[in-house]
Amino acid sequence: MVEANGQQNDQSQGWQKADARILGQILAAQNVVFALPDTIHIAEFYAQTLLSIPGIIGCRVCLGNKSIQVGEMQNSVCGACETLRSMDEKEHILAPVDSNFQCNLMGQSDIRIITIDSYQHHFGFFVSRINNTAAFDVYHPFIHNLSSYVAVILENRLQKDWLQKARDELERKVEDRTHDLMVANEELDAARLAALDSVQEAVEARQRIEQANTDLQREAIERKHVEEALRASEQKLEEAARIAHVGYWERDFVAESITLSDEACQIFGLPLQNRLPKLAEWHVQWLNLIHPEDQPRVTQILTDALAGGPPYNVDYRVVRPDGEVRNIHSYAELIRDELGKPLRMFGTMIDITERKRTEEEIRRLNQELEQRVVERTFQLESANKELEAFAYSVSHDLRAPLRHIDGFIALLQNQTASVLDDQSQHYMDMIAESAKKMGFLIDDLLSFSRMGRNDMVESQVDLNELVREVVQEARPETEGRNIRWEIASLPVVTGDRAMLKVVLTNLISNALKFTRPRQQAEIEIGCVPDQKEEVGVFVRDNGVGFNMDYVDKLFGVFQRLHRADEFEGTGIGLANVRRIISRHGGRTWAESEIDHGTTIYFSLPKSNA
Amino acid sequence: MNEHGQEIDMGFTREVLPACHHICLIYDNEEQRRKIVSEYLAAGLKRGEIVRYFADTTAPEEIRGWLLEMGIESKDDDSFRIIKAEIAYCPSGSLVPQQVLDNAVARYAAAKNVGYSGSRACGEMTWVLRDIPGSERLLEYEVGLNMIHDEFPHVGMCQYDARLFDGAMLFKVLQVHPYMVAQGQVVRNPFYIQPEEFLAKLHKNA
């Protein structure tokens, strides 16, 4: 403890003797050396630093295999120094701290050697040559500290270098390993991709197989459904064929076979065949079944169809084995190969015997009916002619006595005018008037009769011209009346001009007559538009009109729809119109409404137009 | 304009130094150097000093980029110029210490006349390693800077790359700079030798 204190006091006394500037240099040198990268620079710097310390006249700094000597320093045998030889700076092979290396100058009286040792390695020496031991001893501890500091720096750098080297080595190994791994990865990747491709292919193949299986199953199901539907359809067809008595057959020219449905067998009157004959055999059998009269025609039609002619579509008779004759209708379609050679022929056949019988019956009945119509028409025409002749003769024969009555009544009235009282005169007037009226009726009847009897003289008749004539002739009736005429362009027709003039005269006369109550009569004559097969003409007025309930009577002989005291006339006019138009092959009709006028139409066939 | 005796903001340290100082920066990594140098220049520009940078290996754009990152847009005008170190130190093709010192004094006088608050320079010293004529007189020049305080209250920083200069040279460099930057910190240099003593030793050894 005493020694320690004594040492402390010695040191304290040493520090007190030390130059602060030198101590500062030693301290600063530590900072400077920290910045120096190379050991040679460090050695140089320290050599200079040591030389500036009092008592030192020369120094050598040995760091590894670098040695710097400054000041008064004898040339020593540093080449023999084990320290320098042992260190390979590049490889950082250093002597361990316990190597016990010695500087060659050790033992000399003016030489002070301070080793530069870290806790691990021996780096070298600070070798000082002194000329003042007392001065040097003041700084000796600080130089020793400096050597330790250098050792620490060098050790740190060494460790750092080793660490860096190890790190570089590690990085190199990592790089190598990474490279190896990358190569391996690439190979693995390639293998994986190849495997994936294979797997993918396998998966796709499996999917395709599964899809194919699914499709196959679906197709099988669909096929089953189709077959079921087909069977059902065939059953229905069979049933329908059975119900409709339709038989079918198939000639297979390749297999040389024939197929006959049950219904076909029944139609032919053949027993149901479990085993069908060959086609050639059947053909002979079939020909024998055909009625001999039909056989050439049927075989010709079949031959033509097979040769590419019209389809096989034929009615013929068969004579069943029991002798019964049946009518059948058969239709077939042909299937050919690419070269046009017939492969198969599908046909249907139906027993039309009953239909034929019905048709024959209908035809016979129609013939009978037509005959009866002809006979009846002939009878009616004869009766009509007789009636016409009777009416004509009656009217003609009645006219002479009526003229006598009329004449004698007139004479009687003249002779008895002064002797007869008023009542008797009135009777006489009534007789005379009735006779006149009867005369008109007979005249009308005669004219009507003539309309049916007289021969027609056909020519081209311009209805415009005819209407102008009729209107002109009607002027006495139109004098003093307010009439608005509207006459359209009319066609030229083929007909009896005189008769057609009677038609127009009657119609225009009626229009003038039944518009008499109107302040302004409006009479329109025109054509019915859009008539395809006939020419329609109408005469329309705004007259009193009539009740359409009685339109059927309108064209009757002596039919009147108005009172005689309102509108004159015998009622023969429209009857004449209908008769004339009928004789021209046309028709007549009317539309009317009470107080809203009447339209009378007539039409002529276009052949007459 | 800084007057003699005033203290100067260095930029990269809180320590305030005398108005006239001559610093050496011994560095071994660029990041550290960049931080110290850019803050040193920025402090001068902020103070309204005339600032010169003598570049040897660093491109002018890079130096202006350092300042720009600090928010200082340096204009290429009289206040801040970046001059090639060889031209600045060896305007006649070789280093003539007195010539360079005279230029520095004249520059300071001109700056003072137009109202700058001071003069600040920073130089990259690697040009010395290229055996340019006169470069062996570098220490003479450095010592000279320390001898003209009165008429040239100058602030300067000399950059020495410890990776390139040898230890003996650096030891001598330390002897001619009153201040040094160690581990990013300005310290009074214990190696510094008064100019007359250094010159005497220099001449004795020569």
Does residue B152 contact residue B105 with C-beta atoms inside 8 Å? yes
Minimum distance, in Å, between the CA of residue B113 and any CA atom of chain A: 40
- The residue in chain A having the minimum alpha-carbon distance to the alpha carbon of residue B174 is A32
Of the candidates A538, A552, A545, the one whose C-alpha atom is nearest the C-alpha of residue A593 is A545
How far apart CA A511 and CA B102 sit, in angstroms, is 149
Burial of A16 (0-12, 13-18, 19+ CB in 10 A): exposed
**Alpha-helix runs per DSSP H in A36-130:** 39-51, 82-86
Assembly ipTM: 0.71
Q: Specify the range with the lowest mean pLDDT, choosing from A320-329, A374-383, B101-110.
A: A374-383
Portion 57-86 of A in contact with B at CB < 8 A = 68
Compute the residue count for chain A: 609
Quick: pLDDT tens for B155-199: 899 999 988 998 889 989 999 999 888 777 788 888 889 999 888
A215 pLDDT higher than 90: no
Contacts of B165 in chain A (CB under 8 A): 41
* 3-state DSSP helix/strand/coil % of chain B, to nearest 5: 40, 20, 35
Contacts of B163 in chain A (CB under 8 A): 37
Quick: pLDDT tens for A315-326: 999 999 999 999
A297 close to B (CB below 8 A): no
The CA radius of gyration of chain B, in Å to the nearest whole number, is 16
Quick: pLDDT tens for A236-283: 666 666 666 788 888 998 888 888 888 888 888 888 766 678 888 889
Determine how β-strand A521-528 pairs with β-strand A492-496: unpaired
As beta bridge partners, residue A59 has A70, A128
Give the predicted TM-score (pTM) of the model. Answer: 0.45
A431 close to B (CB below 8 A): no
As beta bridge partners, residue B127 has none
CB contact under 8 A, A37 and B187: no
A330 pLDDT higher than 50: yes
Minimum distance, in Å, between the CA of residue A150 and any CA atom of chain B: 14
Among A27, A45, A53, the strongest candidate for a mutation testing the B interface, having the largest count of B CBs within 10 A, is A45
Nearest-by-Cβ selection for A32 from B166, B182, B188: B182
How far apart CA A513 and CA A474 sit, in angstroms, is 11
Of the candidates B150, B187, B191, the one whose C-alpha atom is nearest the C-alpha of residue B13 is B187
Does residue A161 contact residue A57 with C-beta atoms inside 8 Å? no
In the structure encoding, which two tokens stand for residue A255, read together?
A: 């297999």
Does residue A316 contact residue A291 with C-beta atoms inside 8 Å? yes
